[in-house]
Amino acid sequence: MPISQSDQLFNLVKSLTKAEKRNFTFYSTRIQDADTLKYIHLFELLDKQKVLDENQILAKLKDVDKTQYSNLKRHLYKQLMVSLRMIHIKKDRHPSTRIPRLRRYPLWKRTLYPKSKNPR
């Protein structure tokens, strides 16, 4: 994920409700412990910040360099989107158009329109 999209990831994390954050944590830690998952640690750091400060995040992620950080952000974004789709899959009443709309709905709901056109 390019640096210019860091704000989009930060805005997505900040726009999650308490229930969605809890569900994401449960979803992500269903196989491994949260202490071993780097993207969970990144999620917690982003959630605690009031204003995005990537230098502070990189300082706290001691075993991650800048190239890994970009991949970590991309992976966190993908996992967030999967988790949000799982929450909203039962709410969709039109099964024929379910998949394309479910890819955009979590972003559209949070008024993150530009990213909702191509959420991959």
Q: For the segment 105-119, what is each residue's pLDDT rounded down to a tens digit? A: 666 566 565 554 554
All structural domains of the chain with their residue ranges: 3-116
- Predicted TM-score (pTM) of the model is 0.73
Residues 80 and 23 sit within 8 Å (Cβ to Cβ) = no
pLDDT, the chain, mean: 78
What is the tens place of the pLDDT at every residue in 60-71? Answer: 988 888 889 989
Residues 20 and 87 sit within 8 Å (Cβ to Cβ) = yes
Residues 107 and 88 sit within 8 Å (Cβ to Cβ) = no
∠ CA 13-17-21, nearest 5°, is 60
